[in-house]
Each structure stands twice: as C-alpha cells, then as structure tokens.
C-alpha cells in the first residue's frame, strides 16, 4: 500500500516538473512579493518605528524571506482538488479504487512539496541571498528546532485545507471556500506581518486559534525570538492542533460518506 502512495507522490513530482512555466511564474511573483515586503520593512524601520520584542531589521528580513519561501513549499492542493473533482463529478474515479481518498491527496500534495523544494525553494533562497545576504538562523539549535516545527506546521495547514475540502461535499453552492480560508490564514498566521505587531487583544485570541502555529511558530524559532524551551512548548501545541484537526477530519469524513451527493453523470 505504501508503494502506491509513494507512486502517487512520484507521479505528482514528475507532473510538476513538467510544468515549467508555472515554476517561473510562481518564483517570479514570490520574488516580487519578497522584495516589496523587505523594502516595506526597511522603509518602516528607517522612519523610526517602535521596535517590538527587540526585533531588528535583519530579523524581519530573514522572517519575511523564509515566510514567503515556506508558503511556496507548503503545497495544500487538497481543498482545490476536492472542489474541482466534485464540481466535475470526477471524484467518482477516486471512489472506486480500494484506497483511502485523503491519503491519496496527501501523497499527491507531498509530491508537490518535494518538487517545490527543488524548483521553487532553491531559486527563491538563492535570489534572496543575492539581494539581502544569506538569511542565517539565529543559532544551530534554532535551525534544528525549525525543521520539525515546519513539518508540524504543514500538518496543521494540510488538515485545515482538507477540512475545507470536506465542506465542498456538503455545499457546492458556496463556491470555493478555500479562498476565504487562505485569506484568514495569511493574516492570522503572521506570514505577512508577525502577530507581535498586532494589538494585544488580537494576540490573545490568536493563541487559541491554530493559525499562528503555522507560520509564526517555526519562523520565530528560526530567528531566535522564540527560545528553546518555548519552542518545544509551541511544538507541543502544534501537535495538539494536529491531533484535534485530524479527529475532526476523520469524524467529518465518516459522516460525509454516508450523506453526500455526487454530481452529474
């Protein structure tokens, strides 16, 4: 069975590598976004913005570069995959294979992630290093903690995306809910502006939501704002969110299977 998943991952990898224009477009837009963000921070700091949490400009530059790089790597196609497959009725072809659907979609997205690692992350980091210098981590330990935290982040993001995909089984008329979810994630995850710059109240609420544990946690670890002890605690919270979202998805999926309607044909 594992062989099948690996093959799905491999097929996605091959497909992604075949679409060269998509790669150029993605690297191009992300690069522009990266440049704009960094220059914005530069301008803000030049004007004597009040420093938060002793974050300096170098920290924020590193934060921004990595945030955008991560976003190009965290492939969560599952919500769109399900939405379009249901819309076009194509989902039936997944149902008549003796293999769990969501596991296939995960394998597919992991393939997308692997290919992004090669054809998006590398060029982005290379260009960023040329423009702003290499975005070093604050210490070897923070780099070591950053990697597992990223994996946990991806877990949360993917499960959120899968849950949105599940909604598509119920209400086609709502359109692609993924766009709404993506906007919320973008703001509340601190991927554009770290939540440390947000009002106290927003920060408090955000602690009880999964979003800040997707970008801010690993990035904070990387630039050293989050210490080792706090980092481990944050990773614990990430794991709890993963468990919670997984249970939600499993329960939702069980119910969905018995009640849904598949379009057309």
Partner 1 sequence: MEAVIEVNELVKEYMVAKKESGLRGALKSLLFPEKTKVKGVDGISFSIAPGEIVGYIGPNGAGKSTTIKMLTGILHPTSGSIKVCGISPQADRKAVVRKLGVVFGQRTQLYWDLRLGESFELLRRIYQIDKTTYEENLAVLSDVLKLNEFIDTPVRQLSLGQRMRGDLAAAMLHSPEVLFLDEPTIGLDADAKHAIRDFIKEMNRNRGVTVILTTHDLDDVEQLCSRLVVVNHGKVVEDGPIESLIHKLTPHRLLVVELQHPCDDLSHPAAEIIKRDGLKIWYQFEKQRMTAAELISDLSQKLPIQDLSVKEPDIEDAIREVYKTT
Closest CB to partner 1 among 16 and 191?
16
Q: How far apart are the C-alpha atoms of 122 and 69, rounded to whole Å?
A: 9
Is residue 133 close enough to count as binding partner 1 by CB under 8 A?
no
Nearest approach, Cβ of residue 6 and partner 1 (Å): 8
Q: Give the residue, chosen from 46, 48, 50, 95, that forms a contact with partner 1 under the rule CB under 8 A.
A: 95
Q: Give the residue, chosen from 28, 89, 175, 236, that forms a contact with partner 1 under the rule CB under 8 A.
A: 89
Residue 86 token pair: 């249901």
Is residue 98 close enough to count as binding partner 1 by CB under 8 A?
yes
Of 37-45, 66-74, 87-95, 158-166: span binding partner 1 (CB under 8 A): 87-95
Asked if 41 contacts 61 with a C-beta cutoff of 8 angstroms, the reply is: yes
Is residue 90 close enough to count as binding partner 1 by CB under 8 A?
yes
Q: How far apart are the C-alpha atoms of 203 and 193, rounded to whole Å?
A: 12
The Cβ of residue 1 has, within 10 Å, a number of other Cβ atoms equal to 9
**Distance, CA of 73 to chain centre:** 7
51: left (phi over 0), alpha (psi -120 to 50) or beta: beta
Closest CB to partner 1 among 1 and 130?
1
Contacts of 142 (CB under 8 A, 6+ apart): 221, 222, 223, 224, 228, 231
Q: Give the residue, chosen from 21, 93, 200, 254, that forms a contact with partner 1 under the rule CB under 8 A.
A: 93
Of 13-21, 36-44, 65-73, 208-216: span binding partner 1 (CB under 8 A): 13-21
């Amino acid at each position: 069975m594992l062989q099948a998943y690996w093959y799905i991952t491999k097929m996605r990898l091959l497909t992604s590598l075949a679409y060269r224009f998509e790669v150029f477009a993605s690297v191009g837009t992300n690069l522009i976004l990266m440049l704009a963000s960094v220059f914005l921070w530069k301008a803000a700091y030049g004007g004597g913005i009040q420093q938060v949490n002793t974050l300096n400009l170098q920290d924020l530059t590193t934060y921004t570069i990595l945030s955008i790089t991560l976003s190009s790597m965290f492939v969560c196609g599952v919500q769109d995959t399900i939405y379009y497959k249901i819309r076009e009725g194509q989902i039936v072809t997944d149902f008549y294979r003796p293999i769990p659907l969501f596991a296939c979609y995960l394998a597919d997205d992991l393939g997308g992630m692997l290919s992004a690692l090669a054809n998006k992350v590398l060029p982005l980091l290379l260009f960023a290093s040329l423009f702003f210098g290499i975005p070093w981590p604050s210490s070897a330990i923070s780099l070591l903690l950053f990697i597992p935290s990223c994996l946990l982040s991806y877990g949360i993001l993917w499960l959120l995306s899968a849950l949105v995909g599940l909604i598509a089984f119920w209400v086609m008329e709502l359109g692609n809910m993924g766009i709404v979810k993506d906007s919320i994630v973008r703001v509340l995850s601190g991927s554009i502006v770290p939540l440390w710059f947000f009002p106290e109240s927003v920060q408090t609420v955000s602690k009880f939501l999964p979003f800040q544990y997707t970008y801010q946690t690993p990035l904070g670890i990387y630039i050293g704002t989050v210490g080792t002890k706090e980092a481990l605690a944050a990773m614990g919270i990430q794991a709890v969110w993963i468990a919670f979202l997984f249970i939600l998805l499993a329960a939702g999926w069980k119910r969905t299977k018995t009640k849904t309607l598949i379009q057309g044909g």
